[in-house]
Amino acid sequence: MTTALLLTVTGALCAPPATASPAGDQDTAFVRKGHQVGLAEIAAGRDAARNAATPCVKAVGAALVRDHTRLDAGLSALARELGVTLPGPAAPAPAREPEDVRGPARTTAYDTAWLADRAEAQTEALALIDAQIARGDNARAVAAARVARPVVTMHLDMVRGGTCHGVRGATTSAAGSGADLAAASGNDRFVLGAAALAAGAVLAGAGLWLLSSRRRHDGGR
């Protein structure tokens, strides 16, 4: 039984990993649009740092800048790997708030409009991510969408309903894993999984050997 387990592990380690599907139209559209969304969120976060009246909105803005900077780094690396040309930032939408709220008074009118804009933007970003998860062809592009989803969900929770709920959770670590996973190769993930399988088989074999030795010892008494 131990020999069979070890042979199975050896075969898994030597077998070539599955070839990743090439990037299709859905994958290309996701990478390009996701890049633009990330740039827009970074710009919005920086704008809040300059113009928001409340510490809560400023903190959420800082989280958007931090998290989307890391997510976009992974997405940009993926674009280079797939040969996808990234567009520049999308043209900003007209500001909802009157221009005078950006003056020294720093009224809460800016914060209200900013939160409503961000709630709408996060909802649209989640729809983009879910479409990629459901219909994407390329495994790495789908993996990048899966990792981005909880980060964007946390961002939506911060501004849900156009109300500032504050920064919740370790969003930077989640975004960092998104960049790492988008850049990780399929071979690396295969080797890690196979190594874990091998370790399990070795432990199982050791346990069976000890059990067999104990039985022979007891039978010889």
93-107 pLDDT tens trace: 544 544 544 554 556
pLDDT at 23: 85
Reference 133, options 41, 23, 20, 27; nearest CA is: 27
Query: Would the pTM count as exceeding 0.75?
Result: no
pLDDT band at 182 (very low <50, low <70, confident <90, very high): very low
Average pLDDT over residues 142-170: 93
- DSSP code string of 11-48: HHHHSPPPPPPPP-HHHHHHHHHHHHHHHHHHHHHHHH
Average pLDDT over residues 101-118: 79
Average pLDDT over residues 142-163: 97
pLDDT band at 22 (very low <50, low <70, confident <90, very high): confident
Residue 67 to residue 84: CA distance in whole angstroms: 22
Least confident among 114-123, 152-161, 190-199: 190-199
- DSSP code string of 166-207: ---S-HHHHHHHHHHHHH--HHHHHHHHHHHHHHHHHHHHHH
pLDDT at 221: 52
- Could you tell me the two tokens for 168? 């919740």
Residue 92 to residue 160: CA distance in whole angstroms: 21
